[in-house]
């Protein structure tokens, strides 16, 4: 496993929260992507939400604190306290499959492991203990490339 990072979800205020965290911890944002940066119809996000944060990352030493805003279509399931994931960066596609399948066994798959605009294999699940996981193997995929 290359890395494990905390990933937070917010209901419209990810940018405000991360500007606050930046003021506390210092540093610079490693990445800021808005839903409009994906072009087309990104994950069914409404036109009024295109300027919300799709992904933001702030380096905290060797760890990245990452987050996104939850689209309104998914906000009914948003609950403060259960809005934190552990984002895993596997070394290979095989490791991504093994880890995802292991964590999802007996739990709930939120998004099956699949190709996305940003990864060869990405998926999210909640394990049988209620812990939320993201598995993100970028492979040769480069966003915007």
Q: Does residue 121 sit within a domain?
A: yes
Same domain membership, residue 71 and residue 4: yes
Using alpha carbons only, give the angle 52, 57, 63 rounded to the nearest 5 degrees.
Answer: 155
Decide: residue 140, CB within 10 A, 0-12 exposed, 13-18 middle, 19+ buried: exposed
Per-residue confidence of the chain (145 residues) as pLDDT tens digits? 888 899 998 888 899 999 989 998 888 999 999 988 887 666 677 888 888 999 999 998 888 999 999 887 766 666 676 778 899 999 999 999 999 999 999 999 999 999 988 889 999 999 887 888 999 998 887 765 4
Q: Does residue 85 sit within a domain?
A: no
Same domain membership, residue 2 and residue 35: yes
Q: What is the pLDDT of residue 123?
A: 96
Q: What is the pLDDT of residue 47?
A: 83
Q: Which of 52, 80, 108 corresponds to the end of one domain? A: 80
The C-alpha atoms of residue 71 and residue 101 are separated, in whole angstroms, by 26
Smallest CA-to-CA distance from 65 within 24, 21, 107 is with 21
Q: Are 90 and 1 in contact (CB under 8 A)?
A: yes
CB atoms inside a 10 Å sphere around CB 80: 9
Same domain membership, residue 103 and residue 129: yes
Q: What is the pLDDT of residue 42?
A: 63
The residues facing 133 across adjacent strands are 86, 125
- Domain count of the chain? 2
What is the residue range of 120's domain?
90-145
Same domain membership, residue 139 and residue 71: no
């Amino acid at each position: 496993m290359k890395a494990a990072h905390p990933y937070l979800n917010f209901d419209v205020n990810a940018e405000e929260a991360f500007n606050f965290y930046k003021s506390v911890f210092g540093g610079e944002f490693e990445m800021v992507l808005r839903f409009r940066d994906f072009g087309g119809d990104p994950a069914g996000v409404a036109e009024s939400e295109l300027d919300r944060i799709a992904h933001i990352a702030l380096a905290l030493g060797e760890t990245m604190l990452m987050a996104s805003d939850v689209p309104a279509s998914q906000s009914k399931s948003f609950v403060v306290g259960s809005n934190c994931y552990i984002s895993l960066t596997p070394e290979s596609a095989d490791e991504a499959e093994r880890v995802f399948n292991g964590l999802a066994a007996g739990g709930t798959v939120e998004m099956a492991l699949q190709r996305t605009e940003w990864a060869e294999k990405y998926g999210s699940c909640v394990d049988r203990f209620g812990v939320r996981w993201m598995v993100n193997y970028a492979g040769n995929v480069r966003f915007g490339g």
